[in-house]
Amino acid sequence: MIYLNGDFMPIEEARIPVLDRGFIFGDGVYEVIPVYSRRPFRLAEHLRRLQHSLDGIRIKNPHSDAEWSGLLEQLIAANESDDQYLYLHITRGVAKRDHAFPKGVAPTVFIMSNPLLTPPQELLATGVAAITASDNRWLRCDIKAISLLPNILLRQMAVDVGAVETMLLREGFMTEGAASNIFVVKDGVLLAPPKNHLMLPGITYDVVLELAAAHDIPYEVREVSEYEVRTAQELLLTSSTKEIMPITRLDGKPVGDGSPGEVFTQLYQLYQNYKVTVMRGDTPAP
C-alpha cells in the first residue's frame, strides 16, 4: 500500500500526471525513514531534515509534523513487514512546463513502504568494496533532492566494477558516498567530515557520532583528506537502509588489514543495542 495525495491505495493503482514537475524537472525532495518493529526511527530528526530540504527549494511543507506522523503510522499499519523503510516524495506539483515556479499549485505527496532488509551478516563479516571518484555534484548536497542524476551515475561506476559504493572526493577532501555518509578511522580516531553544503546531513551519521561520544570512542569532526582516506585503518559507510557497514577494499586495495576493524565492530554493536532500545520505546539515549 502507498499514500498519494490524500488516499491510500495499492501501488499498482497509483497514477501521477506526466506534467508533474517531479517527472519533468526532478523538482522535488524526499526522505527515507527506517521503521523497526513498526516504529519510525528518529522520526523528529527525519522530519526536521525534510523541512530543511523543502525550505531549500522553496516548497511550503504540505503537512505539520503531527500530520506526517499520522500518515506514516497509517501506512506502516497497512503494510506487512514489521521492519520497513518509508520513502516520502514531495514535488512542486503538476503544471504547464515552465522552469519558473507555478502559482497556486498544490505539491504532490507520495509515500511508499518497502520491507527493510538490513545487510546480511556474511557481508558484514567480510566488508564491502568501494571506489573513489571526483564529486561532480552541485553545491547544495545538504538538500535531499529527487534530482539524483549525478549520484546515480557515480554509484553505477561502483556497481560496474562489482563494488557497492563510490566515495566522493572534492578538491582533495572526502565529502560522502554516492548514497551514504563515510567515516574514516585514522590513528585510532574516528574522523567525520563536517556537515555543510557539500554533503547530506545523515541521520545515521548523527547516531554514530552520538554513540562515539557516549562510549568514549575518540572522534573528530573535520575535513578528511584524500591521503587520510587512502591510508585509513578503517572506512565505514552509513545510511538509513544499510545502517553501518565496513568498507574493506578501496580502488582494489585492502583497507587496513583488509578485514572489518575494531571501531566498526564496536559501533555496529552499539547501533544494534541502540535500535533495540528505541524499538522497545525506552528513552532513546545512546
> With contact defined as beta carbons under 8 Å apart, do 257 and 285 qualify?
no
User: Of these, 22, 202, 246, 261, which contacts ligand PDD (CB under 6 A)?
Assistant: 202
C-alpha cell recorded at residue 262: 575494531
Question: Is residue 204 close enough to count as binding ligand PDD by CB under 6 A?
Answer: yes
Question: Does residue number 179 form part of the binding site for ligand PDD (CB under 6 A)?
Answer: yes
What three-state secondary structure class fits 272?
helix
Among 103, 144, 242, 275, the active-site one is 144
Taking CB under 6 A as the criterion, the residue among 180, 198, 250, 278 binding ligand PDD is 180
Residue 241 interacts with ligand PDD (CB under 6 A): yes or no: yes
| Interface residue with ligand PDD, options 1, 57, 191, 200 (CB under 6 A) | 200
Query: Which residue in 79, 118, 239, 248 binds ligand PDD (CB under 6 A)?
Result: 239
Distant-in-sequence, close-in-space partners of 122: CB < 8 Å, separation ≥ 6: none
- For cell 553505477, name the residue: 156
Query: Catalytic: 275?
Result: no
Residue 233 vs 241, nearer CB to ligand PDD: 241
* 151 φ/ψ angles, rounded to the nearest 5 degrees: -60, -40
Other CB atoms closer than 10 Å to residue 18's CB: what's the count?
7
Residues 6+ apart with CB under 8 A from 1: 8, 9, 10, 11, 75, 78, 79, 113
- 22 versus 202: smaller Cβ distance to ligand PDD: 202
Cα dihedral sign, 251-118-77-52: negative
Q: What is the DSSP letter of 18?
A: T
Scan residues 130-159 and list those touching ligand PDD (CB under 6 A): 151
User: How many residues interact with ligand PDD (rule CB under 6 A)?
Assistant: 15
- Residues known to be catalytic: 144
Residues that bind ligand PDD (CB under 6 A): 32, 151, 176, 179-181, 200, 202-205, 238-241
